Amino acid sequence: MPDTPVAGWQFDGSCLTRSYNFPDFGAAMRFMQACVAGIEAHDHHPEWSNVYNRVSIKLTTHDAGNTVTEKDIELARYLQEHANVFGGK
């Protein structure tokens, strides 16, 4: 499997995936909420879930046949920047 263009993200079939562990539930929720405006601006929405301090994310472009496109890479970079701010590891 080739390296991903965003450190810490993995190719998983036709998706880019990443899970972050935050210091606590509040930090995980603040991360998710802080990302909303940028996600809307990218007009590209992740499949993501939260359990306590963990946020799991899956990115794929459905209208490109469920493949990874530049839209996914750009959104992964955006999410990575925000995860760093909120202590996501």
Q: Show me where the domains of the chain are located.
A: 10-85
Please enumerate in sequence order all residues whose Cβ is within 8 A of that of 5, keeping only pairs 6 or more positions apart, or say none: 73, 76
User: Phi-psi region for residue 70, left (φ > 0), alpha (ψ -120 to 50) or beta?
Assistant: alpha
- For the entire predicted model, the pTM comes to 0.91
Kindly report the backbone phi and psi dihedral angles of residue 82, in degrees, each rounded to the nearest multiple of 5, phi listed first: -70, -35
Residue pLDDT, tens place only, 7-44: 899 998 889 999 999 999 999 999 999 999 999 999 99
pLDDT confidence bin for 46, thresholds 50/70/90: very high
The gap from C-alpha 66 to its chain's centroid, in whole angstroms, comes to 16
Residue at 74: amino acid letter: E
Confidence bin at 64 (pLDDT 50/70/90):
confident
Which string of b and e fits 26-38 if b means at least 16 CB within 10 Å? ebbebbbeebeee
Tell me the CATH class for 10-85: alpha beta
